[in-house]
Chain A
Amino acid sequence: MKFLKLPTNNLHEFILNLRKIGEVHIPIKKGEKSFVFRKTNEPEDISKIQLDYHRTILPLKKYFYHPTETMFEFSKTGFVQPEQSSDVHDIIFGVHACDIHGVLTLDLVFSGKYRDDYYFNRRKNVSLIGLSCMPDEFCFCNSMATDYVEIGFDLFLSEIPGAYIVRIGTSKGDDMLNLSGPLLEEITHNDIDAHKEYSLARKKAFKRFLDIRNLPEIMDLEYESNLWDELGNRCTSCGTCSMVCPTCYCYRIFDDINMDMESGKRRRQWDCCLFRDHAMVAGGHNFRQSRSDRFKHRWLHKQQSFAGVFGRPSCVGCGRCIEACPAKIDIVAESNKIQGAKNND
């Protein structure tokens, strides 16, 4: 892979140049402590960028997999799929490693024998530019082995004092750099040393740990543990953890009928396995009637079941679910507890 150096002073101009080839989205401040990816409508918007943000409220799935969408329209005579192709090229700047892993995970889910083109028609028009980060108290990507990425980005910027080391992931990324040729420099041995130092400092900065190697087995053994009931009692089934999760992808499908009572739209909407009716079948039987069963199912799916299908857990350790939970359920601390480990073991 090829590397170049982008001095921090040139970053603004670099992003400005990106606007020539697509719509650039950057992390900006939303509330006092919250961040979102937002499109830069004007060149001046670039100055709003928050380079030291930890996590956005919603992960990148909002770009490819909309909270609700029309799948097709129907009438008495048949089904029509609405035009979905778009020539817009979105460039999302400042994506952390965990979120890139999140997108790669959704790519797995929506591909396969039955390819979901609602997802891929949007996905193919989006470029990702990664950005290194220091963890806060919620991050546990190092435990999930998602703190570094090898694929899934067009460019990846790693911070060193006064500059970024730019890793070029794709030909598209190379094109982006060519727009900013004069802004870039060759990297030196000192830069490599600085990069390694950053990496070591980052490794030491993590405050929470989860041993995922025996977690599925322990969760299986502790399937009847009271801990799940306690957690079920605290959880309110609000679904926030799923909405903010980079790799939660459940959806429900339903029809919206027009006033003529004949035509309408088939739509889909993000769903959540914590919702009461998620595993309900016709006739009213519910395979996960109790909230503790649903809570257990969600975490088991993240850590165990998903791995059974796709080879690795779907959790990317971004910490969103812990930060966003209104009941303050800290799934990592609870997992530590079920594994019998004292915190920070």
Chain B
Amino acid sequence: MTNPYMPHLAKIIRIIPQIDDVRLFQIRLEDEKIRNEFRHRPGQFVMISVLGTGEAPISISSSPTRTGIIELCIRKAGKVTDALFRLKENAVIGIRGPYGNGYFMERIKGNNLLIVAGGIGMAPLRSLLWYSLDNRDDFKDIILMYGTKTPNEMLFKDELFSLLDRGDIKCLLTVDKDDTGTWKTNVGVVTRLFDMISLSPETTYAAICGPPIMYQFVLQKLIECGFSKNRIMMSLERRMQCGIGKCLHCSVGHKYTCTDGPIFTYWDVMNMQEVV
């Protein structure tokens, strides 16, 4: 009998600081068999346990194409993540999952992919980004738009800057305000980036993740561009407790964010109440 609530032990092998209150945790499952069998899809999440403090749902930031290590980009925002930030490398945590639907890769295949991220929203989208780059032939054009308030708040900065020179992805980075005076690329809100590209909505899937205000403006922009609502994928945030569609803490209407989501199309979301 396997107990779906039982976490597996995992070791924090490296903690890479990102910005003030965000760190990238590299996690390795202790048990070799479980580690080798761990498979996830971009957009899925895991439940992490800091023993004695509790569990929290965290989206997976690493691509399924990079196996062995699970990367979790985490903002210190609550009880469990506070406790996690007190842990050091080599500390042991619990992990179970992966859970949720993930991005609809089968449908996206053969299409253009537009990724629009704001702030911490890059965390789940980074998995999608590297998955699509590692399976580059499966997609037509890949465009990344990522905006943060200031240069200092940009996650995965080195990694993303290295994409600026690549010919097989259009990487557009922007900041609302450059308070450092050293920012070399775009300044302005993320929707401004839409003026720099031309999109073919009939053959493009858009994946968005960011703060509510960004959703509002990006959705408006995409609809103006002519996107069908079922070609727009959004990631919803809820406080999952069971992760397996039972405890109801993540319910939105008749959907469970943990099993039906966390990736929903804009069409799904439009028919839900209390979404953001």
Chain A residues in the interface with B (C-beta under 8 A): 71-72, 74, 76, 78-79, 81, 109-110, 112-117, 223, 249-255, 257, 261-262, 264, 266, 271, 273, 278-283, 287-288, 293, 297, 300-301, 304-309
Chain B residues in the interface with A (C-beta under 8 A): 1, 3-7, 9, 49, 51-56, 77-81, 92, 94, 237-239, 241-242, 244-249, 251-256, 259, 273-274
CB distance from B187 to the nearest CB of A (A): 27
Kindly identify which residue among A78, A252, A307 contacts B247, using a CB–CB cutoff of 8 Å. Answer: A252
The answer to whether A252 and B274 have CB atoms under 8 Å apart is no
The answer to whether B248 and A273 have CB atoms under 8 Å apart is yes
The answer to whether A252 and B246 have CB atoms under 8 Å apart is no
Q: Which residues of A are found within 8 Å of B252, using beta-carbon distances? A: 287
The answer to whether A79 and B247 have CB atoms under 8 Å apart is no
The answer to whether A114 and B52 have CB atoms under 8 Å apart is no
Closest 10 CB pairs of A and B: A308-B254, A282-B78, A114-B244, A305-B254, A257-B52, A282-B77, A114-B4, A283-B77, A250-B248, A281-B239
Cα-based distance from A234 to B262 in the complex (angstroms): 34
The answer to whether B3 and A301 have CB atoms under 8 Å apart is no
Closest B residue to A85 using CB positions: B1
Say whether, besides A249-B246, A250-B248, A288-B274, A78 and B9 are in contact (CB < 8 Å).
Answer: yes
Cα-based distance from A76 to B94 in the complex (angstroms): 11
The answer to whether B6 and A79 have CB atoms under 8 Å apart is yes
Cα-based distance from A293 to B77 in the complex (angstroms): 25
The answer to whether B247 and A271 have CB atoms under 8 Å apart is yes
Cα-based distance from A306 to B18 in the complex (angstroms): 41
The answer to whether B7 and A76 have CB atoms under 8 Å apart is no
The answer to whether A297 and B274 have CB atoms under 8 Å apart is yes
A-B contact count (CB 8 A): 111
The answer to whether B52 and A255 have CB atoms under 8 Å apart is yes
Closest B residue to A264 using CB positions: B52
The answer to whether A262 and B1 have CB atoms under 8 Å apart is no
Closest A residue to B274 using CB positions: A287
Prevailing SS type, chain B contact patch: loop
CB distance from B72 to the nearest CB of A (A): 14
The answer to whether B92 and A72 have CB atoms under 8 Å apart is no
Cα-based distance from A254 to B50 in the complex (angstroms): 11
The answer to whether A287 and B55 have CB atoms under 8 Å apart is no
Cα-based distance from A43 to B250 in the complex (angstroms): 47
Cα-based distance from A112 to B246 in the complex (angstroms): 10
The answer to whether B249 and A252 have CB atoms under 8 Å apart is yes
Closest B residue to A281 using CB positions: B239
Instruction: Offer 11 A-B interface pairs, CB within 8 angstroms, sorted by A.
Output: A72-B3, A74-B52, A76-B92, A251-B246, A252-B241, A253-B247, A278-B249, A279-B274, A282-B77, A282-B79, A304-B254
Closest A residue to B254 using CB positions: A308
The answer to whether A250 and B249 have CB atoms under 8 Å apart is yes
Closest B residue to A277 using CB positions: B239
Cα-based distance from A309 to B3 in the complex (angstroms): 23
Q: Which residues of B are found within 8 Å of A300, using beta-carbon distances? A: 253
The answer to whether A281 and B238 have CB atoms under 8 Å apart is yes
CB distance from B39 to the nearest CB of A (A): 16
Closest B residue to A280 using CB positions: B239
CB distance from A50 to the nearest CB of B (A): 33
Q: Which residues of B are found within 8 Å of A251, using beta-carbon distances? A: 241-242, 246-247
The answer to whether B53 and A114 have CB atoms under 8 Å apart is no
Q: Which residues of B are found within 8 Å of A308, using beta-carbon distances? A: 253-255
Closest A residue to B258 using CB positions: A114
